[in-house]
Amino acid sequence: MAKRTPKAKKTEHQEFVVVAYAEDLEQARNYETLLKNNDIETIVKERHDKSTDTEMIAVMVPEDSLDEAHVVIESQDAYDDFYDYALDDEEDEDEFEADFYDDDF
1-47 per-position pLDDT tens digit: 444 444 544 546 789 999 999 989 999 999 999 999 999 999 999 98
Do the domain assignments include residue 83?
yes
Q: If phi over 0 gives left and psi between -120 and 50 gives alpha, with beta otherwise, what is residue 39?
A: left
Residue 58 lies in a domain: yes
Distances (CA, A) of 95 to 20, 34, 77, 104: 37, 35, 27, 16
Of 91 and 77, the structure prediction assigns the larger pLDDT to 77
- Domain count of the fold of the chain: 1
Residue 23 inside a domain? The answer is yes
User: For all residues of the chain together, what is the average pLDDT?
Assistant: 78
Order of strands across the sheet that contains 43-49: 16-22, 54-62, 43-49
Q: Tell me, what CATH number does 39's domain have?
A: 3.30.70
Do the domain assignments include residue 78?
A: yes
Domain membership of residue 35 (yes or no) is yes
> Does 93 map to a domain?
yes
Contact between residue 48 and residue 14 where contact means Cβ atoms under 8 Å apart: no
Is residue 10 situated within a structural domain?
no
Cα–Cα distance measured from residue 11 to residue 25, given in angstroms and rounded to the nearest whole number: 29
